[in-house]
Every structure is written in structure tokens, then in C-alpha cells.
A and B are shown apart, each in its own frame.
Chain A
């Protein structure tokens, strides 16, 4: 997995070898929010689509509508001989634990959670590192010295984003205040843009001028509210800079697309392995987005500050605290 950074390059090279590789029948099960949430699930969809484009291997996917469909969908795919089956999202863990035990010959991969079974690959991201970088950008872009964070469901994973972000903000400017809000405590919190917009407005009223969301489909409302109010939003998971050009400061990229692509490719090349894979800045699993939509918002100072922090995190001289390790944030 070390060569994830070079996946894009490797993809071209692999094209030739795939013909000889085993024919696979991959499948993806998305989380609530759906494959067009313009964020987390869509990133997975992009990866699968890219694999299909590069290799011509068709895949099947399923968008669940409620929690009880998780198991059904996985079991259905497994029974039809789909292999590997990549499931997206931490909430799939308990369903996968059951289904993976029932189908020991099928390879499964889960993004964002750990399932400890011999036929399951667990893919985790160091969201705190990517969030740290956008935190630096937020602090530097804020004129009011108040920045906001809006999370989706109130779970440790989202606190990991918020904690990394807060550390980044404080690293750049210890005097900048961070306001943190969560949308809800159920799965519906991933898909409630109206509530997201209201939360964003409430933060703007309290003086916030840059808001970062880690809220899936809910975040579309956050970015919309930021664009309406003339403030800056920060996207998450997918590159969301293009949703409101000029109003999205940057996006914290979580390369679920790379993970899905890699999982498919490993299966095709017979390099499938189980166990836990953690993708951070070093492995190219997380990053921040700079493109033509936000290049005017990012000054050279900002670029330099982020590049420096990125380098320090990669070489280990700057440690970003991971909320999941002790369920607490030092800030």
C-alpha cells in the first residue's frame, strides 16, 4: 500500500497488466447519503468509476435507504459471487461482521472502520492530518479570528476531524476561536442540508467567517449558506471547490476514491490482503485541494504555511493528535 502516492501513475502502467489479471466482479455498498452526496460516498463512486474506465471491469453498487438494508445488500452481492465487496462508512461495521463471517471466501473491505476478520480489509484515514492543514488555511483566511466547524452525526470519527482542524487553527494562530456544532445523533444528520444551513447561519451570527464541514450531504447546505452570506466554506472528502467557486476556501480531500480503486486493483492482481490499512498525508490518503476555483483565495503565505506543516507532519516532527486514541482533544 506504500505506493498509493503513485497510484495515478501506476494506473496507466497497470492497464497493460490487467488483461492478464483475474477477472473480478467488484461491488460497492454506499452509506446513507447516497453516491451523489458530492462528498464522502461520491468519492468512493469516483474511484469505482475510474476503475471501470481504466480497465473496463464493470462493478455493481447499492445505495442503502435505511439501516436494515446494509446486511441485505452485502449478503446479496456475496451470494451472487461479487468479489471484492467494498463497503463505505463506519456504520456498516456490525453488518459486515455478520456477513463476512458467513462468506469466508469472499473478500470484503470497509472504509472508516475496523472489522477484525481474516477476509476483511479495514481502511482508515488520518483525517486529523488533512483537517489540520485546512485548519491552518481557515485561521489565516479568517478576518474575525473566529472559525467554525459543522459535523454530521455526533460520533468519535467526526470529532477526529474537528480535533485535527482545531489543532491546525491554533497552530497557526492561538488566539483564533473555534466554534464546533454537530448536526444530530442519528444517520439522518448526514443528509439534512437545511439544518446544516441553519447551523452555519447561527455560527455566522456569532462572528464566524470561515466554516469547515464534515457532514456529508448536510454540508451542501453549509457551503450554500456560506456562499449566500458571503463567507467562506471548506469542503470535505471530495473536492467541493467547484460547488460555489470563490466561496469555498478549499476542501479536505479524503481519498476514498484511491482506496476503492486500490482495493479493486489488488483483488484483480491477486495482491489482496486483509488487516488494517491507515492512509495519512504520507500515503496520499488525505490532502487539501487547490484548483482554479479557489486559487484567488489562497495567498502565497498560506501556501507556504501549509506546505511547511505538511512536510513536518510527513517527517514526523509535527504530531497531530488523534481523537480516537483517547477520546479527548488537547485543545
Chain B
């Protein structure tokens, strides 16, 4: 296999691994841009993944699974909102509480339903999102460079991957080009001013956590019904936190956050792909180095390239109308 092909396949794998991160990072962004810290991404992803796997298993429909995942995560984000927005609770504590709750609850319900130690049964073909071949992909597969880029890299993913990448410009448009987005950002920077203008801060923040819940639900469903074929306890394995880090890395903006997610996804994919492959000019890289690579690069990038990240001004502060 030539090197070009290897790079294309590596990028192809990157798209698959960065999809859940992108969706979760965007979810975090919506919530945090309006001033609510969303540490609960990890737990919501788990909840979404579990509901998707269960419903898809019982109904044999991945769309119903996706719907269930989104409903679950929206319910969880409303819970988060109820604690943090209505009752002005500590946002970090509420987020962590949801993470711990979902880690235990998914396993518990899983054991109760399927008695397989918290796993859900493997899903059939119908119950999972299948790869889509973009029109003409097979026809151009033999065209050098562009053909293989199109047929390998762009075509052949499941629909949620495309949804994730399209959600980035969509989020950008919503945040920066609509009245809703302007108000949402204003609520995160200076809620007092928004209140003075006659807009309900509480309502705006609730809307932002709803957007957040919607997006993270898709990423949960992706884990269990598109990338994988069943739910396993704690299958998110820190992806929620990585997405959160990517969002901070991307300074709470959609496109930079997407690139940060792609970078994390790329490092993950590279660690998998580079094992036992001889790299041109270097030879075969030891497995241990390959596995340490993502961490080393993350430290280097964080230390050297990110610069100052400025959070929304009222992030983490509940809005109190008057004392």
C-alpha cells in the first residue's frame, strides 16, 4: 500500500474517531457560551449511548434509538439546568453528579434489563447506522488522488459523521448570525445587560442547555449504534472530558473547537494505525512510543500553541436578578 493511501486511510479513521468529540464539544459550547458550565457531557453521552442501544435493540430501528438518546440527554440537561439555573446551584457539582449518576445508572438498568453485566446485546444490521456511499464514489475510485480522496475519505461514513461536520458551520451560523445567538452570547458575557433589555436570562440559559442536550445525544447514539454495536458500561472512556478540553482549546468557538477535536481524533487514530507500520524514513515505530504520542503531542500543543483562552465572562456564575 502506498504512502498516500495510508495517509488517506488515516484521515478516514480520524473522521470516525473525532465525530463524537465534535458533537460533544459543540454541545458544551452552546451551554458554556450562555454561562452554564457543562461538565456533565460525559454522563450525558453515556446516558445517550445507553438509551440508543436499548431502544435500537428492542425496536430494530436506529432512528428510534437516536430519538431516545436525544430525549434522554435533553432530560438530563434540563435536570442540570434545573439545579444550576433555577436553583442557582454549583454548576461543577451538578455536572459531576450527573456523570457519577449516569455511570452507575446505565450499568444498573443494563444489568436489570439484559443481565449481561451492564452490556446491551449486540445490535443487528438494521439497528445500526450503516455507511453511506456518496453518489459516484465507486465511479471515481480509480481516479488518482482526487478520486481516492472522495471515495475513501468523504464517502462511506454513516450519516452521523456528516451530521457532526455539518453541525459545525450550522452552530457558527446560529451563534454569530442570528438574534438567538447574539442573545445567547450576551447572556454568557453580561446577563445584567440582557435582563435590562427585557429578555429573560433564565429562559435563554434553558434554551442553551436544550441545544447542548440535543447535540450530545447524537454523539451518544453515535458511540453505541454507529461506531460500536452495543453499549458497554463506561464506554465513553473520558470522551466527554476530552471534548470539553477541545472546546477550551478552541476558545469556545465552533471552528477552532472542531479542529481541536480533529486533532485529538487524529492522534487517537494515528496511535491505532501506526502500530507495526513502517513509517517512511523512520522505519517501524515502537508500540510504546506510538501509544504515548497523543499525550506527548497534547502537552506540547497545549503548552506552546494555544495561547490565552478567555472564557465567557459570567461562566459558572448563576444569574441573580437583584439582592
Tell me if A102 counts as interface (CB < 8 A to partner B).
no
Given the interface pairs A35-B117, A194-B227, the reply to whether A182 lies near B275 with Cβ below 8 Å is: yes
Interface of B, secondary structure class, is loop
Contact B228 A197 (CB under 8 A): yes
Q: How far is the CB of B107 from chain A (nearest CB, A)?
A: 9
Contacts of A311 in B (CB 8 A): none
Instruction: For A154, give the chain B residue with the smallest CB separation.
Output: B287
Contact B122 A220 (CB under 8 A): yes
Q: How far is the CB of B91 from chain A (nearest CB, A)?
A: 28
Contact A243 B122 (CB under 8 A): yes
Contact segment of A17-25, A183-191, A280-288, A315-323: A183-191
Total A-B pairs, Cβ < 8 A? 62
Q: How far is the CB of A228 from chain B (nearest CB, A)?
A: 8
Tell me if A201 counts as interface (CB < 8 A to partner B).
yes
Tell me if A221 counts as interface (CB < 8 A to partner B).
yes
Instruction: For A205, give the chain B residue with the smallest CB separation.
Output: B9
Residue from the list A35, A36, A207, A221 in contact with B228, Cβ < 8 A: A221
Tell me if A97 counts as interface (CB < 8 A to partner B).
no
Contact A198 B237 (CB under 8 A): no
Contacts of A195 in B (CB 8 A): 272
Given the interface pairs A194-B223, A205-B9, the reply to whether A34 lies near B276 with Cβ below 8 Å is: no
Contacts of A217 in B (CB 8 A): 232
Q: How far is the CB of A66 from chain B (nearest CB, A)?
A: 11
Tell me if A143 counts as interface (CB < 8 A to partner B).
no
* Size of A's binding interface in residues, CB under 8 A: 31
Given the interface pairs A181-B276, A191-B232, A192-B237, the reply to whether A202 lies near B13 with Cβ below 8 Å is: yes
Tell me if A302 counts as interface (CB < 8 A to partner B).
no
Tell me if B318 counts as interface (CB < 8 A to partner A).
no
Tell me if A193 counts as interface (CB < 8 A to partner B).
yes
Q: Closest 7 A-B residue pairs measured CB to CB?
A: A34-B117, A36-B116, A36-B117, A198-B272, A205-B9, A181-B275, A202-B273
Could you write out 29 A-B pairs with CB less than 8 Å apart? A34-B118, A35-B117, A37-B117, A154-B287, A179-B276, A181-B272, A181-B275, A182-B287, A184-B291, A185-B291, A191-B232, A192-B237, A193-B228, A193-B232, A194-B227, A194-B228, A194-B235, A198-B272, A199-B272, A202-B13, A202-B273, A205-B1, A206-B277, A207-B1, A217-B232, A220-B122, A220-B230, A221-B229, A224-B228
